[in-house]
Amino acid sequence: MATHEKVDAVIVGAGASGGVFAAVLARAGKKVVLLEQGPDWKLSDLISSDIWSRRLKGSGPAILYEGKNAVGRTGDMGWGTGGAALHYSANFPRLLPDDFTVRSDHGRALDWPISYAEVAPFYDRVAADIGVSGDAKAEERWRPPGAPYPMPPLKSFRYSDAWLPGFTAAGLTMIPGAVGINSTEYKGRPACIYDGWCNAGCPTGALANPQATYLGEARNKGAEVRPFSYVTRVLTNASGDHVTGVEYYDDKKERQVQEASVVILTAFASQNPRIMFNSRTEKHPNGLANRSGLLGKYLMGHGSATVTAIFAGDVENYRGSNGYNYVTYDRHPKTIRRDAFGSTFWSTTAPFKPNDVRGMAAVRPDLFGAELDTFMKVKARGLTRITAIIEEMPDLENRVEPADEKDEFGFPLIRSVHTFGKDVMGLWSAAIEEGSAIAKAAGAKEVWPAAAIGTQHLLGGTIMGKGAGDSVVNSFGQSHEIGNLYVAGCGIFPTESAANPTFTLHALSLRGAEQLAKNWGSIAS
Ligand SMILES: Cc1cc2nc3c(=O)[nH]c(=O)nc-3n(C[C@H](O)[C@H](O)[C@H](O)COP(=O)(O)OP(=O)(O)OC[C@H]3O[C@@H](n4cnc5c(N)ncnc54)[C@H](O)[C@@H]3O)c2cc1C
Ligand code: SF4
């Protein structure tokens, strides 16, 4: 066992939120170490292949899934520097003001302890820092005005344009999506070449992945990344009022301790609570920062409703990026559907590849042999789809909790229990019906609404709130109970909206990291 020299901050996980904290603290001159369980990827390692890119998917200790709607790890977690955001689609819709006040407005779910107005400047700053392409003026039909995006929207392609008459017929206004992908050269990074391989990671740096943005900046400013460092526990002092560092196992499976003045957990919504449960002591018998009993609780996923269709001719579905071409917030109001509560967010989505996340093969799993051959040779040219993301309200029954099973070092694994309630299922049915009508109105020749609800994104489990009685952290991600322990990522969202979470995750991390840097003297120990 080795104990490493004390540093200012140790960050657990070198993904999207870890990168932001590392950059801000390195800018402030702090000595920062990021411990990452996976390898240290470079952009030049990335290969545009579905098979190769499987090595970027979530790995590490098993998660045990229970409930009807497991939020899968392959579509969510990452493995290695950059985390999941090394190969995400960088769709960057923001939350709207009413997402922060669901309890006050409707007497159900939860309120955020902060308002949209407090987060909005950080959306604009993140957009300028990492490069976002979009049309802010068009978005302002649904949200308060802010800064323009630094780049114009990405190009659209026929597989998206073909749907527009259908959306118009349904009375929905589609606008260009905001995406963290360069439509023009930006800050020395090239413009997108529209080859559609973002889900295998973008070797050119056109995608705003952590290596090309905040994490890269942190390393340039001296932050150290230690790969193959699997963190098992946060360590606390005898009185339990401060954290002192973390315990981890290195690539030789040897136990190490990294001492630090501040610990920041950025190991994704499933692993942050696991580490906190496994750090229990006499002073924190139910896990760190868990006086509320809410650690691991209010786990949320997004439902997804996909409608696939075939249009006449070649829709160019081999071109483009994984970012949205068009989106609408017209189905955002929480009570817009008569029998189901929550928001829905429609988008036209990305090009197809043969397999995996963007695969054509998954569209018709019922076809084999000659039929599959014809489908792939002829019909696949007209194939395109739209997707609605569906909001789930926080529910105490959906949770992660320690399991009886253990990892190779003897630490409990996590059990993830998740089932969508009747509101999500109602919103999903409404979206499937609406999407099918949109396809027909747009002139699709064949239409396949998804037969079952899909899941995307994992949120909650370490939610923010006003105090230790109602939540785990405050709006900066700082633990209510232990001032020099921070948690960042989608886990701190108390409600989720129907928007992809990572733009908001960046904005909250920037806000939290700057609060920490500014108040360092009174927080660090
Ligand atoms: C294919 C794909 C497409 C996506 N598209 C979008 C999109 O379009 N828009 C959007 O908003 N979001 C999208 N996401 C989700 C987005 O990538 C995540 O919201 C975001 O990366 C989460 O950031 P994070 O910092 O919390 O976690 P991550 O980026 O996953 O980083 C966590 C890191 O912690 C490490 N770690 C975990 N446990 C430990 C441990 N015990 N010790 C040390 N290290 C550990 C992991 O290896 C990982 O590298 C997508 C994800 C995927 C996979
Ligand atoms: S489509 Fe654009 S952002 Fe995606 S991998 Fe290719 S160049 Fe990078």
Question: Both tokens of residue 518?
Answer: 């500014």
For position 51, what pLDDT does the model report? 87
Helix axes 16-27, 502-518, angle to 10 degrees: 30
Assign 330 a pLDDT band (cuts: 50, 70, 90). Answer: very high
Share of the chain above pLDDT 90, in %: 88
For position 362, what pLDDT does the model report? 72
Residue nearest to atom 8 of ligand 2 (CA): 202
Question: Both tokens of residue 117?
Answer: 């107005």
Q: pLDDT tens across 487-513, in order?
A: 999 999 999 999 999 999 999 999 999
Cα dihedral 330, 331, 336, 338 in deg (nearest 10): 140
Burial 438-473 (b: 16+ CB within 10 A, else e): bbeebebeebbbbeebbbbbbbbbbbbbeebebbbb
Residue nearest to atom 6 of ligand 2 (CA): 195
User: 199 C-alpha to center of ligand 1: Å?
Assistant: 13
For position 198, what pLDDT does the model report? 94
> In a mutational test of the pocket of ligand 1, which residue from 248, 270, 502 has the highest number of ligand atoms less than 8 Å from its CB?
502
Long-range contacts made by residues 49-56, C-beta under 8 angstroms, separation at least 24? 49/200, 50/200, 50/353, 50/354, 50/355, 50/356, 50/357, 50/358, 50/359, 51/355, 52/200, 53/87, 53/199, 53/200, 53/201, 53/356, 54/356, 55/79, 56/80, 56/86, 56/87, 56/200, 56/201
Average pLDDT over residues 127-144: 98
Q: What does the DSSP assignment read for 365-382?
A: TT--HHHHHHHHHTGGGG
C-alpha 274 chain-centroid distance: 18
Using CA atoms, how far apart are residues 30 and 238, in angstroms rounded to an integer? 26
Closest ligand 1 atom to 18 CA: 25
Closest ligand 2 atom to 181 CA: 3
With beta carbons less than 8 A apart as the criterion, state whether 319 and 192 touch.
Answer: no
User: 323 C-alpha to center of ligand 2: Å?
Assistant: 9
With beta carbons less than 8 A apart as the criterion, state whether 358 and 351 touch.
Answer: yes
For position 352, what pLDDT does the model report? 85
Partnered with residue 186 across adjacent β-strands are 189
Scanning 179-230, the segments in alpha helix (DSSP H) are 214-220
Average pLDDT of the chain is 95
Residue nearest to atom 7 of ligand 2 (CA): 192
Is the pLDDT confidence value at 201 over 90?
yes
Query: What are the two backbone dihedrals, phi and then psi, of residue 233, each rounded to the nearest 5 degrees?
Result: -150, 150
Pocket of ligand 2 contains residue 195 by CB under 6 Å: yes
For position 6, what pLDDT does the model report? 98
Pocket of ligand 2 contains residue 194 by CB under 6 Å: yes
Assign 204 a pLDDT band (cuts: 50, 70, 90). Answer: very high
Closest ligand to the CA of 157:
2
For position 358, what pLDDT does the model report? 67
List, chain by chain if needed, residues with CB within 6 Å of any ligand 1 atom: 12-18, 35-38, 60, 75-80, 83-85, 87-91, 199, 230-231, 266-268, 271, 275, 357, 457, 489-490, 500-502, 505
Q: pLDDT tens across 406-428, in order?
A: 999 999 999 999 999 999 999 99
Closest ligand 2 atom to 190 CA: 7
Q: What does the DSSP assignment read for 39-77?
A: ----GGG--S-HHHHGGGB--SS-EEEESSS---STTT-
- Say if residue 114 is exposed, middle or buried (CB neighbours under 10 Å; 0-12, 13-18, 19+): middle
Using CA atoms, how far apart are residues 191 and 404, in angstroms rounded to an integer? 49
Q: pLDDT tens across 34-48, in order?
A: 999 999 999 999 999
Closest ligand to the CA of 203:
2
Assign 368 a pLDDT band (cuts: 50, 70, 90). Answer: confident
User: 27 C-alpha to center of ligand 1: Å?
Assistant: 23
Using CA atoms, how far apart are residues 109 and 394, in angstroms rounded to an integer? 6
Is the pLDDT confidence value at 74 over 60?
no
Residue nearest to atom 3 of ligand 2 (CA): 207
Nearest-CA neighbor of 152 among 186, 197, 122, 129? Answer: 186
Q: % helix / strand / coil in the chain, to the nearest 5? A: 30, 25, 50
Query: What are the two backbone dihedrals, phi and then psi, of residue 284, each rounded to the nearest 5 degrees?
Result: -130, 70
Question: Both tokens of residue 471?
Answer: 């939540």
Task: Return the ∠ at Cα 23 (arms to 19 and 24), rounded to 5°.
Answer: 120
For position 361, what pLDDT does the model report? 67
User: 81 C-alpha to center of ligand 1: Å?
Assistant: 10
Closest ligand 1 atom to 488 CA: 26
Hey, CA dihedral for 333, 336, 337, 338, is it positive or negative? positive
What's the pTM value of the predicted model, to 2 decimals? 0.97
Pocket of ligand 2 contains residue 200 by CB under 6 Å: no
Where is average pLDDT lowest: 104-108, 368-372, 474-478, 510-514?
368-372
Is the pLDDT confidence value at 345 over 90?
yes
Query: What are the two backbone dihedrals, phi and then psi, of residue 53, each rounded to the nearest 5 degrees?
Result: -70, -10
User: What is the rounded radius of gyration, in angstroms, for the C-alpha atoms of the chain?
Assistant: 22
Nearest-CA neighbor of 508 among 523, 479, 487? Answer: 487
Using CA atoms, how far apart are residues 201 and 190, in angstroms rounded to an integer? 15
Question: Both tokens of residue 113?
Answer: 């302890």
Using CA atoms, how far apart are residues 275 and 219, in angstroms rounded to an integer? 25
The widest CA-to-CA distance across the chain, in whole angstroms, is 70
Query: What are the two backbone dihedrals, phi and then psi, of residue 102, each rounded to the nearest 5 degrees?
Result: -65, -40
For position 58, what pLDDT does the model report? 80
In sequence order, the 6+-apart residues with CB closer than 8 A to the CB of 369 are none
User: What H or E segment, with its residue span, contains residue 299?
Assistant: none
Closest ligand to the CA of 191:
2
Is the pLDDT confidence value at 77 over 80?
no
The DSSP letter of residue 97 is G
For position 73, what pLDDT does the model report? 58
